[in-house]
Structure 1
Amino acid sequence: MTATLADAMAAFTPTLPLAVAFSGGADSTALLLACAEKWPGQVHAIHIHHGVQAAGDDFERHCQAVCVRLGLPLVVKRVDARHASGQSPEDAARRARYKAFEAVALVEYAQVAIKSIALAQHADDQVETLLLALSRGAGLPGMSAMPASWRRAGLTYHRPLLGVAASDIRRWLVGRGVAWIEDPTNVDEQFTRNRIRARLLPALDATFPQFRDTFVRSAAHAAQAQAVLLDVAAQDLAHIGDPPAITQLQALSRPRQANVLRHWLNTAFQAVPSTAQLAELLDQIAVCTTRGHQIRIKVGTGLCERRGAVLHWYNPAVLL
Structure 2
Amino acid sequence: MKITSVKTKLISVPFKAPIRVSTLSLAKRDAIIVEVETDEGVTGMEYIPVLGRGSETIKACMDHDIADLLIGEDPLYRNKIWEKLWWALNMIGRKGIAMYGISAVDVALWDLAGKLQKTSIHKMLGPYTNQVKVYGSAGFMSLSEEELVEEAEGVVARGFKAFKMKAGFPDLRIDLKRVTAVRKALGPDIDIMVDVNQGLDVPAAIQFGRELEKLGIYWFEEPVPADDMIGHAEVARALDIRITTGETEYSRYGFRELIDRKAGDILMMNLRAGGITEVVRIANMASAHRISVTPHLAWELQNQIYAAITNGTYIEYMDWYDDWFEDVPQIKDGMATVWDRPGHGLKFREEIVRQYAVE
**Structure of higher CA gyration radius:** 1
Q: TM-score range by the shorter chain?
A: under 0.3
- Bigger relative contact order, structure 1 or 2 (CA pairs below 8 A, ≥6 apart): 2
Kindly indicate which of the two structures has a greater share of residues assigned to helix: 1
Kindly indicate which of the two structures has a greater share of residues assigned to strand: 2
Q: TM-score, normalised by structure 1?
A: 0.26
Q: TM-score, normalised by structure 2?
A: 0.24
